[in-house]
Amino acid sequence: MQRVYGPYPTDTPDPGSWQPPSNPGAGGHHGRYLWTDAFGIVNFITLSRVKGGAESRQLYLELARRLADAVHSVLGRTRDGSARLPGATDEEPLKGGLRIGKLDDDGPDADGQYHHYLTLWMFALNRLALAAGEARWNRLAVQLAKAVHPHFVTEKGGRETMIWKTSTDIRETLVHSKGNLDDVDGLVIFQLLQDTAELFDRENPTAAGNGAEKAPSLNAEIKQYWRIMASHPKTPSGDPLDLGMSLWTCHLDRGAAWSRAMAADGLAAARDRFLPAAQSPITASRRQPYRLAFREFGACLGIKCYEDDPARPLHAGAQTVLDAWEGKVLECADEDLRPINLAMYAAALVPGAFCKGFVSLAASRTNESGAGELA
């Protein structure tokens, strides 16, 4: 985390004038890349709990807040920074969505908006809301969810489906296919946001009477994700990152029938395909171009979140993969991939706030870690 976001203080509850670095930072446009920075926020929340002491907790939560604000300031604006994205205002800064943060303005790998990046960012804001006990972060996530959802759902051949990528202003479809997990991610994360909003409302039932607005309902969007899931059966893609993120999403809702079925497929793929291949020694990336570190780290993160007992064979296997990468993360990737590799490596080593129950509103109120009633 220091290599991506440092230098930042570690011995004071007040980070002073620290701002997330823009060069290289998270490796994207003006140093911000939505996927990497989402991992950055969740990792800071993990550090706020595992480093110990009230000062460390305050410090790392403040670093997470400042990183969130920086992302909204950069990726919530046009590429030249002159204006907020269309639809957004100072009062509602995420109503225009958030850019990915790709370096290129046009071309096959140009900037735009991805549904699965946006839902991951919503999750990061949700974790920050629970860890800090501040409802505004979850309200921002709900604002983002309501704003972007209509731009990613569509109808083809008489059935509801989704598209994968839009332009930076979210008005034009750039990739018409559906991401393998987009509907699942939407269902789980939108439900998580709604549950958290209701939890904050229960904690402070007089807030609405004092002028505070409740977060808008996401029921209609959740029902639409359910319908899309019903008509788009899930099959493992074979990609390690897709495998890992599917297991991570499943562990947030283990009891659902769809989750049990998807997790069974994912665990079988991890046991039979991913782990046997990934436990081989790591050599220079030029000789093994098919081994992208961040994709393997995503798989390890998902396995460790779902199989949370270190004594379980799959958990131990994921740790073996991470051990093989130790000391090689920096040398086995091009410079532009180092931030995402490092942030995801940290999360795979210590999943922390990616795990269900690691943060809770009750714990934030008592300044103690522990599981709450939410994911």
Per-residue pLDDT of the chain (375 residues; tens, 9 = 90+): 999 999 999 888 888 889 999 988 999 999 999 999 999 999 999 999 999 888 899 999 999 999 999 999 999 999 999 999 999 999 999 999 999 999 999 988 999 999 999 999 999 999 999 999 999 999 999 999 999 999 999 999 889 999 999 999 999 999 999 999 999 999 999 999 999 999 999 988 765 545 567 778 999 999 999 999 999 888 777 899 999 999 999 999 999 999 999 999 999 999 999 999 998 887 754 445 568 899 999 999 999 999 999 999 999 999 999 999 999 898 877 788 999 999 999 999 999 999 999 999 887 776 643 333 334
Please, are residues 138 and 126 in contact by the beta-carbon 8 Å criterion? yes
Position 307 in a domain: yes
pLDDT confidence of residue 369? 39
Position 354 in a domain: yes
Position 371 in a domain: yes
Residue listed under structure tokens 């060069």: 23
Residue 76 and residue 32: Cα distance in Å, rounded?
11
Please, are residues 258 and 235 in contact by the beta-carbon 8 Å criterion? no
Where in the sequence is the domain holding 241, given as residue range(s)?
234-375
User: Which sign does the torsion angle of CA 123, 322, 311, 51 carry?
Assistant: negative
Position 301 in a domain: yes
Expressed in percent and rounded to 5, the helix, strand and coil fractions of the chain are 55, 5, 40
Position 94 in a domain: no
Position 248 in a domain: yes
Residue 127 and residue 131: Cα distance in Å, rounded?
6
pLDDT confidence of residue 364? 78
Q: Give the tens place of pLDDT for each residue, 337-350.
A: 999 999 999 999 99
Position 45 in a domain: no
pLDDT confidence of residue 284? 55
Angle 195-196-202 from CA coordinates, rounded to 5° = 90
Global pTM reads 0.94
Position 254 in a domain: yes
Residue 236 and residue 267: Cα distance in Å, rounded?
10
Count of domains observed in the chain:
1
Please, are residues 371 and 357 in contact by the beta-carbon 8 Å criterion? yes
pLDDT confidence of residue 111? 98
